[in-house]
Amino acid sequence: MKITGELLKTERLKRNLSVADVASSLKLSSRIILSIEAGDVEELPAKTFIRGFVKSYAQLLKLDSDLILRQFLEEMGSTQPLPKVPPPQSTTSDNKPHKTKSEPVVATHLDINQDSKKKTILYISIAVVLLAFILIINNVVDKYQKESEIDKLVVSQVQPLPPTENSSVPTITPGIGASAGAPIDPLAAAAGITAGKPTVETVSGSELSTSDIGPSTAPPNEFEPSSEKPVELIIEAKKDIEFFYAKGNTKNFVRVKLSPKEIQVIRSPAGLHLKAEDGSALYLILNGVEKGLAASAGKPIRLTF
């Protein structure tokens, strides 16, 4: 490796650097630097270490380290050294340089990077879609929960009157045209009757207009006499329904129309009569006690409280 050593030594002298300066910069001993410049392989360690020393020496002197290493390898493995000037790049007949073997490798790396980016975009898109789907479901669930809470709040705001000691069980009479011994409607028991001022309240839904409420009369024998005790009746409509009620033993009935989920509160100090053509549309709460649907589907009711 005498030519390699001469190249390094010549450049060192051009830069006015001493052997000690180079040894200090490369963290090597001056003896190794002198052996490299003299090409004395016997005084140097293994070939692998020498190659590293030569490369570091060339980089310190700002030489073309690839060219110096090629010269070093040529000397260590062949008797014919390379020329000191790098050979010109081979060209084809149309004076275009040949493509190096590294170009397909670079293209392969670019393809891999593009595939990775596409996969990343796909994963992000799927995550965004799933997140949007979850948010939509949560909004729907929250909506139904809020509607349920509002319905419970409306019912809870209706305060039933406390029962009195002299409360009595209301009587239930069969409808018009019912024969003797016909089965009575299941809403046959009611307890806890309280005193209060006769009132009609709409708790939820639209306000009743004059066209929705009007007087009506009923046959005198359609109802039994009422108990003439205070009554509070809460009616929730399960569907569109029209019903009639009269306070006490009067026959002056009031007509009421309700839409689904609307609630009507009726208070009377002297009993109550109630009639409708479809008892399954009315859910009753009598003096704070839930009684359920007034009758089965399509069955008319005539109730006395």
What is the rounded average pLDDT of the residues 130-145?
90
- Using DSSP's 3-state secondary structure scheme, residue 89 falls into coil
CA distance 140 to 278: 33
Q: Specify if 224 maps to a domain.
A: yes
What is the rounded average pLDDT of the residues 263-283?
92
CATH classification at residue 40: 1.10.260.40
Instruction: From 215, 272, 216, select the one nearest 249 (Cα to Cα).
Output: 272
CA distance 277 to 282: 10
Helical spans, DSSP H, in the chain: 2-14, 19-26, 30-38, 47-60, 65-77, 102-156
What range defines the domain where residue 59 resides?
A: 2-77
Instruction: From 305, 301, 302, 244, select the one nearest 278 (Cα to Cα).
Output: 301
Q: Specify if 216 maps to a domain.
A: yes
Looking at residue 87, what is its pLDDT? Answer: 52
Q: Specify if 172 maps to a domain.
A: no
87-123: pLDDT as tens digits: 555 444 445 544 444 444 445 555 667 788 888 999 9
27-37: pLDDT as tens digits: 888 888 888 88
Q: Specify if 141 maps to a domain.
A: no
Ordered strands of the 231-237 beta sheet: 199-202, 263-268, 231-237, 282-286, 289-293
Task: Please count the structural domains in the chain.
Answer: 2
Q: Specify if 37 maps to a domain.
A: yes
160-171: pLDDT as tens digits: 555 544 444 444
Q: Which residue, 54, 77, 100, sits at the end of a domain?
A: 77
What is the rounded average pLDDT of the residues 271-275?
90
Looking at residue 156, what is its pLDDT? Answer: 59
Q: Specify if 165 maps to a domain.
A: no
Looking at residue 173, what is its pLDDT? Answer: 41
Q: Which residue, 77, 99, 129, sits at the end of a domain?
A: 77
Q: Which residue, 44, 77, 110, sits at the end of a domain?
A: 77
Looking at residue 35, what is its pLDDT? Answer: 86
Q: Specify if 215 maps to a domain.
A: yes
Q: Chain-wide mean pLDDT for the chain?
A: 73
Q: Specify if 283 maps to a domain.
A: yes
